Amino acid sequence: MSEEIPGYWRNYIGGRWRDAERSLSVENPATTHALAAIALAGPGEVEEAVAAARHCFEVERFGDMPGAERAAMLHRVAVAIRELTDYGGRVACLENGKTLDDGRGEFAEAADYFDYYAGMADKLEGRNIPIGEDYLDFTVHEPYGVSAQVVPWNFPPSIAARSLAPALAAGNTVVIKSPEISPLAVAVLGEACDRAGVPAGAVNILCGEGDEAGAALVSHPGVDQIVFTGSVPTGQSIMHAAADRAVPCVMELGGKSAAVAFEDVDIDQLVASVRNGIFFNAGQVCSAMARLLVHRSRYEEVLDRVTALSEGLTIGPGIDNPDITPLISAGQLDRVEGMCTEALGAGARAVTGGRRVPDTVGHFMQPTVLTDVTPDMNIAREEVFGPVLVVMPFDTDEEAMALANGTDYGLVGGVFTQDIARGLRAARQLAAGQVFVNEWFAGGIQTPFGGTRRSGYGREKGQEALYNYLQTKNVAVRL
């Protein structure tokens, strides 16, 4: 792969780069110009990819590869990813709009996932269960088979690696459907797997539209497991398809996460978390700090500081490493601005921002802080997926918990207080799969991540995620 971004990209099926009858144009959201074209997979390519994955699993017996060999293979993939990090980071920056540093960071994280799960590939041990002196009873962990993985557009290489690495460590083969709006960086992962000598068919990557290739993949009879990150409606559709065949799923469906700042909050610490929590990647983060709930005694002070932060952020193309990068598409920009306009019409107030950046070519949204928001407003209940922060006051701990838990989502939550006992009590009360105390996005690839309620089920990251990709078999022997 040359340093220049090619004008045409292909799908990776059965260990070969494959063309298709149709192609799809990929846009640079900072300029709205076409960046490249990619072969557009349809049901035929899905059929070939699933067949290649099944052959690798059933005929080549990929799942029987000794754990130590799988570990070595995953380490080789990590090395190959690191060799491609500068190139892949530039691809991610230009196709996704994110900063060049963040694009490189995604590939660095992707490599870390492969190293992390390589360390577990040879440690998938069962247990002996004592059921009587005349019996030997034990468990073994076995892969499901073919794992279909549908990757979202906001962090494609990182999220693809997050599910691909443990699936391979567990002995599954994989078919990834990359996001049609930003598929190129995922193809770079395919190049890393190819360089690392991953067996043909163990990893298949194709770009296709959700209602065609995506639907064909998740309903394919040769698929044994489905992993999805994305919107609730799409997740529900996939779950219906999976239910028809009783196929297990891992679902991460976004959120409307709240940070609760008590009266003893360290404001400098809080503002640093706001910067990262809602303005990182232009707010296009499922676990973003979408709502900031502040004790009334500190509300005005916090609001002033957050407003000053927002107004001081730089805006521009990701290649220049600004604070705020473009949204992924014109449609996403329309949606984010439309939700702000609706909120203002319902009585909310924009302390700063509230609309797209005027007189620009790309899909840029102003960093936005909204107040006078009531809990029943759509802006307080539904995911925006943009650089939009709702700030609301509360008077009591009970009110804070009621506001924080007052949506249908339950992905992450945050607590900011100098009283650790109070923080832990609040963490127990928050309806969320992960809670941050005194730093938004605390944790790492070792910490399990996933939601409750409409935010989905199953866990990604950490040791716990590995068991999403394994099923337990019990063997009972009468001696």
d(CA 3, CA 209): 28
Residue 139: in which H helix or E strand, if any?
Answer: strand 135-143
Which one of 27, 252, 383, 460 is the catalytic residue? 252
286 is catalytic: yes
In the three-class reduction of DSSP (H, G, I as helix; E, B as strand; rest coil), residue 455 is classed as coil
CA angle 292, 294, 298 (to 5 degrees): 135
In the block, which residue shows the tokens 């996932």?
A: 113
| Ranges of H-type helices in 346-468 | 378-381, 397-404, 420-429, 462-466
CB neighbours of 44 closer than 8 A, spacing ≥ 6?
none
d(CA 152, CA 160): 9
Joined together, the tokens standing for residue 13 give 């099926």
In the three-class reduction of DSSP (H, G, I as helix; E, B as strand; rest coil), residue 132 is classed as coil
In the block, which residue shows the tokens 């990251």?
A: 461
Which one of 286, 337, 383, 460 is the catalytic residue? 286
Helix, strand, coil percent content, the chain, rounded in steps of 5: 40, 25, 35
How many C-beta atoms surround the C-beta of residue 262 within 10 A? 21
Contact, 460 vs 162, CB < 8 A? yes
Contact, 13 vs 43, CB < 8 A? no
Contact, 454 vs 409, CB < 8 A? yes
Contact, 227 vs 250, CB < 8 A? yes
d(CA 394, CA 30): 38
d(CA 150, CA 147): 10
DSSP 224: -
301 is catalytic: no
Instruction: Please list the active-site residues.
Output: 252, 286
